[in-house]
Structure 1
């Protein structure tokens, strides 16, 4: 009986997690999760509280609405699945780190955050906003994160920025404007001087599906002295080449899987 009870609790917890994962960008109410999963409110509350303690679920901004927490994506980033995004992107990330001599990052969306899935250091190692593989930053803060945000649909961008406003402002940053995001889409990259880490600059390019949906972003972090305008243009050109190759490889892989 104890094993059956444990299995039932696990199945209920997974159902709750799935319900939250399928919620809109502004999250979902606990009462709606309980109704969808056929649970009594106290049971749903206990399951959500447990998932929240372990970082699988989080609150959206300052509201009580529920969204996925970064723990799921941090665990995924540590996976050695050779068919995944990390494995597909790693050769290009290594080439870019070798070419530039600077730190290169693979960033992907995690709910209202962007998570560092991979990092390759060149000759010059720096501190970064995410800090390490598995580290997260709110969407709209940092070049990789902001590049992903810029390529999301407008209503999704607005909901994310509304949810992340206080988190970003608490870190001493302003939210990117629609004009800022439009320029990123127009130019094909984001370039920022860090306000959190003195002397550090970053740039990022998107990895897109054929329909323009962001899969992830390739980003570089370097000192201001190492990334002046002329060199920045050359590095971004190489980053865009690698992003295009990766987008094509992912599209071909998905086509092959469907056939």
Structure 2
């Protein structure tokens, strides 16, 4: 029996997985880009393999390299593909309406985040009418799962085993962002499950965020809605904000499930 085709398929699949991981690492650089060494360290892929993949992705315009810093950045082809791609969240127009409603009720900034591998990505945001606006997350910005209230909300919809695996994977990145150790973080996730919502204070600003997961029919987190504002405003309007979050996320979950059922018929 000839196993050569199977070996080629496995090798090709592995290369795709590695290339995808490298793209995720670079996307998490907040626009600063990363050099070869840092990409290898963050991805856990051997340096020669990373170098080979970077050269090919650059040749395909998926990446560009800054000639001065030698850092790699996402390239124009990814932007073009993104324009043609379907939304990673079903019925994203429904999510946009929910964000606008949330920011309108609270008067503060509202955010839509989704999981992407071991990261969380901001897909959309809405600004409230309160004059001091907290815009701590830009559309398209990527952070390691475990960073921010939206991350905690999404993790709270997972099993402890899944959460621990993700936190171990992101341990170095979370430590660099002064996030708590894994055992403490597991308690934070457990508290979010008990409360039904996640709370996160900014480390260096008087800012607090509240977040809840939007769940599918099986209880899995589809996405998360968050509201961020001054800590004092959360303390003054806590019940109102939590109530609005709960009502809007539950209504959004029902609408998304309905749209999927309708789409499948």
Normalised to the residue count of structure 1, the TM-score between the two structures is 0.71
Q: CA deviation at 1:204?
A: 0.3
Which segments of 5 or more consecutive residues in structure 2 lack a partner in the other structure?
Answer: 1-5, 29-38, 51-73
Tell whether 2:198 aligns with 1:204: no
Does structure 1 residue 233 correspond to structure 2 residue 245? no
Aligned residues between the structures: 215
Alignment of 1:88-167 (within 5 A): 88-123=94-129, 124-128=132-136, 131-167=137-173
In structure 2, do the counterparts of structure 1 residues 165 and 108 end up closer, same or farther at CA, with 3 Å as the change threshold? same
- 2:153–2:224 CA contact under 8 A, matched in 1: yes
Report the more deviating stretch, 152-161 or 215-224. Answer: 152-161
- One of 185, 195, 201 as aligned partner of 2:193: 185
Query: CA 1:162/1:246 → structure 2, altered by over 3 Å: closer, same or farther?
Result: same
CA contact (8 A) 1:62 1:163 kept: no
1:114-150 CA-partner distances (Å, limit 9, x unpaired): 100100011232241xx31000111111101111012
Contact kept, 8 Å, 1:77 with 1:117, in 2: the verdict is no
Q: Which runs of 4+ in 1 moved over 3 A?
A: 38-41, 44-62, 75-81
- Match of 1:217? 224
Q: Superposed, which structure 2 residues align to 1:15-34 within 5 Å?
A: none
> Could you tell me how far apart the structure 2 residues matched to 1:127 and 1:97 are?
12
Q: Deviations over 1:71-118 (max 9, x none)?
A: 779x7599686x944312111111111111110000100111110010
Say which SS state the counterpart of residue 250 (structure 2) adopts. Answer: helix
Deviations along 1:209-241, one digit per CA (max 9) or x if unpaired, are: 12110001100110112221x511211111111
Following superposition, the deviation at residue 153 of structure 1 comes to: 2.1
Distance 1:56 1:200, change over 3 A: closer
What is the alpha-carbon root mean square deviation over aligned residues?
A: 3.6
Point out where structure 1 has 5 or more consecutive residues left out of the alignment: 1-33
Does residue 37 of the first structure (1) align with residue 9 of the second (2)?
yes
Over 3 Å counting, the alpha-carbon distance change for 1:76 and 1:186 in structure 2 is: farther
